[in-house]
Amino acid sequence: MNIAIILASGKSKRMGCYECPKQFLEVRNLPLFLYSTMTFENNSLVDQIVIVTNVEHVEKVKALCSKHNISKLSKVVSGGETRKDSVKNGLDALEAKDDDIILIHDSARPLVSDKIITKNIEACREFGAVETAIAPIDTVVFKKEDIIDSIPNRSELLLGQTPQTFKYAIIRKAHEQNLAGVEVTDDCKLVAMLGYPIHFVEGHRSNFKVTYKEDIAIMEAYLNALEK
Ligand code: CTP
Ligand code: MG
């Protein structure tokens, strides 16, 4: 079985709207989290969707999914203090077998494509742990305090996106071993800390993470471009 966990429980601090977390911002009359949810719904390989959201929004998410015919929705669960806690709550809600494939996706990446989802599932069948990634456009540097320490070769770097996709047994173990451990913004890091090799599949610039207010305008521009 292929199960998507869609994360929609953040507080959007960088966007500066505490009252209205970005996952519920309406773009073309559709709440942001429903964009990626619908793409997972329409992917022929995805069997189930679990959404993790802020405790006060659980009923709202259920109602919106019902209104928009998200037939694969199995559960809506409340999130935790950090992204890692929210993923853990999503995993705890699953009735999954060791070999089931779990796709973890940020609802803040509304424009994930059907192709990226399929590539994640296919690669995960073979490799067990998969990152979606793209080549950086900018030079990435290491810093020490306010001094640039070293500048790695750009051709050896990738930028991580989501979905990040794992066999259930692997992601389960990674979270269990890190219950009170380091804070991470990313599940691949937890899995890498276990020593598992992580395969990557090509993401896309349009699968960017809506983070700041102006990113909504970028999303609208992509939607316009995709229609052409
Ligand atoms: N997320 C979550 N639970 C948390 C924190 C984040 O489910 N406790 C989700 C967000 O809803 C988002 C994804 O993880 O879809 C990526 O997080 P990010 O873009 O950082 O969103 P926020 O944490 O909401 O934003 P910020 O860091 O600016 O507060
Ligand atoms: Mg965050």
Is the CB of 51 within 6 Å of ligand 1? no
Is the CB of 120 within 6 Å of ligand 1? no
pLDDT for residue 157: 96
Is the CB of 23 within 6 Å of ligand 1? yes
pLDDT for residue 177: 85
- Supply 137's token pair: 């456009």
For the CA atoms of 164, 165, 168, 173, the dihedral, rounded to the nearest 10 degrees, stands at: -40
pLDDT for residue 179: 66
Burial class (CB in 10 A: 0-12, 13-18, 19+), 125: middle
Q: How far, in Å, is the centroid of ligand 2 from the Cα of 6? A: 14
Q: How far is CA 178 from CA 22, 80, 173, 174, 190, in A?
A: 28, 15, 9, 6, 7
pLDDT tens for 171-210 read 999 998 876 677 777 889 899 988 999 999 999 999 999 9
pTM: 0.97
Q: How far, in Å, is the centroid of ligand 1 from the Cα of 215? A: 15
Per the prediction, the chain carries an average pLDDT of: 94
Is the CB of 80 within 6 Å of ligand 1? yes
pLDDT for residue 148: 94
